[in-house]
Every structure is written in structure tokens, then in C-alpha cells.
Structure 1
């Protein structure tokens, strides 16, 4: 008999996340995409809506292996992270699945991964996500893309 167990396999992640918005809005500024791999660059015409640092964990669950009776395997259960400003103030919570970013003001977005690119050894890959529009007003209302860059840690070993 097997029990479901969850495990945070010590996969701590530190990430810089950039939330980009359409250029027709007035936002914090710009961010050079020049040194990023082309796969994870936000298309031209977007401005930075929010630049955050994220710290969190990836959780894996021990589940019965349907392909090999009597054996167990680790299955991805989801991420959890706190996105903070440069002063350490909590701005957004990130969790999933599905991938969801929720601001303290109640606005939230989900998104679809468009691309990934390798990151530093031992780190999860850089990522570009196309955001679905927030149905609530607030900080995430007009966010169109999310970039995950400058990563440290989180890769499953």
C-alpha cells in the first residue's frame, strides 16, 4: 500500500521576473532585451510593468507508478513563490498549476508558456509566458508577458 507524500526536494529558486505590458500604457520603464536569448525576448513594443525578485519552491509528490505496479515515482505538484520589489516588499504571489500570478490588489493573470532557454547549471530554465488578461483591475490588469530570467537554483537533480 502506498501513500501520497509531498516533498519539497530542497529546490529553492531565486528568480528575477519581469512583467511586461503593452506600450500604449504608462509604466515604470524599459528593460534591455539585448543580452537575453532570442527565445525568451518579449516582442518589441512592450514596456516593463513590474520588475520583481522571486523566491520560492517547487513541490514534487510521491505517487504510484501506473507504468510499473508496486513502484513509486516523483510527480510535479507545483510551484510557490513570492515576488517582491527591490525593497523586499511582497507584490505578487505565484502558484500553480495552472501558472498563476496574483497581486495583493486582487488582480491576477494566468499564462501560456511560449518558450524556454537554458539557464545556469543547477537552475530552472529562463522562460517567456504570454499572459491572459486579468479580469480584475489592478497592477496586473494590462500585463501581456512574463519573463523569468536571472535564475539561481530549482533544477531537479
Structure 2
């Protein structure tokens, strides 16, 4: 019986509280945190020319593993942006707000609104995602991109972040 209770406790681990964030990226009222995932991976940039004709590194896509608070792999983050859980569920979104990271060498903090879902599982009811506590991930200096010599060259810049997944209040939190 004790083993069964222990398994049940792990399945419904304590849900983190809403993080304190700038107002611009606060999740909508009526949503609650379902769970937090710790991401570790890379922001992938491509060398080319910007609209102004100047050399620049442009974001191609993120590529990161998502882990729970105990360090267990729970999914992956990729371009779109999208998040795929180990249970097969997936959510894709669109960034609707951003604030600069307190660390100038780190990518901005974001509020993302879900635009589509696949599968049935942990990400099925997700409506908003926050990316906060970023570390790294900024593009290389523009001077290192020469489109005449390196057009299409990719640079993988390591980054870490916390992602908070929200759903309408009253949904059972799971990860």
C-alpha cells in the first residue's frame, strides 16, 4: 500500500506557483501553471543578409531537451516554436510578448500563446507558455557572419531556460 501511495504522490507532484515576471509576459488571468520544464540545448542561427542588406545571424530554430524538476527527460523543444512531450502530445505557439532578459548575454523572456495541439496528454490543454530565466542563446556577433564566404552556415549557441506551461484553471496538472 505504501508503494502505491508513493507512486501516486510522484504522479501528482506539487505544481509550481506562478513565477514573478514583468507584466508584459504575465500569463492571462484564469490560467494556472500546470508544470515547469527546464530546457537545455541550443538556439540555431544561420548566416545571411538582413532586410537592410547587412550581415547577420538569423534564428533558424531552437533545439532543446525538456526536463522536470527531478531531472527526468519529459520532452523536446523545437522550431515553430513547438514542445513535444514524451507522452506524444505536442503544443505549437506564437510569441505574443517579450521582455529583455536581465542578463544581456541571454535571449529574451517570452509569453507564447498556443495555436495548435497534437495528441492527447500533458500538452493537450496548454494555452500559454512562458520562457524565463534564460541563460545564453544570443546570436554570435554579426562580424563573424560573412554571407559571401559563409552564407547558410549554422551556429549552435548553447542556452538554458525555464518554461512554464499554463492551462485554464481547474484542469488537472500533470507532467
| Fold conserved between structures, TM > 0.5 | yes
| Distance of 1:64 and 1:123 partners within structure 2 | 23
Q: Deviations over 1:81-117 (max 9, x none)?
A: 1110111111120001x21111111100100111001
- RMSD over aligned CA atoms reads 2.4
Does 1:118 pair with 2:103?
A: no
Q: Shift of the alpha carbon at 1:65?
A: 7.6
Q: Structure 1's 123 and 144: CA in aligned 2 closer, same or farther, altered over 3 A?
A: same
Q: Deviations over 1:32-85 (max 9, x none)?
A: 34x3100110011111111111111011223478976xx975332211011101
Structure 2: where are the runs of 5+ without partners?
Answer: 1-11, 142-175
Q: How many equivalent pairs are there?
A: 128
Structure 1: where are the runs of 5+ without partners?
Answer: 1-25
Structure 1 residue aligned with 2:35 = 50
Rg (Cα) greater in structure:
2
| Distance of 1:52 and 1:62 partners within structure 2 | 30
Structure 1 residue aligned with 2:87 = 105
With the length of structure 1 as denominator, give the TM-score of the two structures. 0.71
